[in-house]
Amino acid sequence: MAPSSPSSPSSSVQQAKKALGSRLREIRKDSGMTARALAAAAGWHESKTSRIENGKTPPSAADVRLWTRLCDAEDQTADLIATARGIEGMYVEWRRLDRGGLKQVQQSVLPLFERTRRFRFYQSWVVPGLLQTPDYTRAVLNTVVALRDAPDDVDAAVVARMERQRLLRSGHQRFAMLVEEWVLRTVIGNARIMSDQLGHLVAAASQPSVSLGVIPMGAERGNAWPTESFSLFDDAQASVELVSASLTVTQPREVAEYARTFTELSNIAVYGANARELITAASDALG
């Protein structure tokens, strides 16, 4: 991966664990306690203190409360617990996410979408959800059901995703979307579904709130390497799509990495008539 690309998702979680461990280490040192003394006072093995401080073992809320009480730093308890819980929520397996049904997954993100004003989506896999047709969405979600053994409520999930597309017409939100050209040439469902999707993409991209960029397959990449699909919600959160899990990034430094990567990818994309030409060429290739 290029040096400017965001950290790998698994390393992002590990970095957050290490950062929390470092904070707890500093609190212990500021109190004058050794790792051994803290472990003895807490009633656990000294190795647990080491694992927590080195980001090997995430502390529970109870661990944090005890740690800060023993180190006379209870004014930091609430913030540390919130940080620990945030790390727990960063990496969520798709099977856990899908357990309540695909409709629930679609509805669960609606509050985030409604409060966001500036959206940035990069897709290296499929057409962005807000620009999908019902048939294309259905084909994507049918694959999800087959691969993840998720509950089959695809029709209800399609309705929920289509309903979310009303945000494109809200008038006070902006959507910058980037897709790799091979997304346009990957046949999802069948040729008819894909042809309809490409036609819809041209129409949807003409909306005043939407900016659509296509990264040509022959473009000189420079630092803008292909990466996992990700979404940016204002400057507050990045959501990353993995094969086995979903990653939520909220640390400002890491969100800024994804924002920088989005800008670099934007710089090699084509827009307007040039983007429509690539979409049309993909449609023509379907025969």
Reported as a single tens digit per residue, the pLDDT across 176-224 is 999 999 999 999 999 999 999 999 999 999 999 999 999 999 999 988 9
CATH of 9-89, one of 2.60.40.10, 3.30.43.10, 3.30.300.100, 1.10.260.40: 1.10.260.40
Helices 46-53 and 35-42 cross at an angle (nearest 10°) of 120
Q: What is the pLDDT of residue 69?
A: 95
Half-sphere exposure of 162 (CA within 13 A, CB side): 13
Q: What is the pLDDT of residue 3?
A: 40
Q: What is the pLDDT of residue 33?
A: 94
Q: Is the pTM of this model over 0.85?
A: no
Cα–Cα distances in Å, from 117 out to 150, 235, 239, 263? 31, 10, 16, 18
Smallest CA-to-CA distance from 123 within 201, 207, 190 is with 201
Q: How many Å apart are CA 157 and CA 216, to the nearest integer?
A: 31
Q: What is the pLDDT of residue 4?
A: 43
Q: What is the pLDDT of residue 244?
A: 58
Domain ranges across the chain = 9-89, 99-219+269-284
Residue 17 burial (C-beta neighbours within 10 Å; 0-12, 13-18, 19+):
buried
What is the identity of the amino acid at 27? Answer: I
What is the identity of the amino acid at 243? Answer: V
128 neighbors 179 (Cβ within 8 angstroms): yes
176 neighbors 121 (Cβ within 8 angstroms): yes
Tokens of 14: 């590990």
Note down pLDDT in tens along the chain; length 287 residues: 344 445 555 566 777 788 889 999 999 999 999 999 999 999 999 899 999 999 888 898 899 999 999 999 999 998 888 778 777 666 666 666 667 788 888 888 889 999 999 999 999 999 999 999 999 999 999 988 887 777 788 999 999 999 999 999 989 999 999 999 999 999 999 999 999 999 999 999 999 999 999 999 999 998 899 999 999 999 989 998 876 567 888 878 888 999 999 999 999 999 999 999 999 999 999 98
194 neighbors 187 (Cβ within 8 angstroms): yes
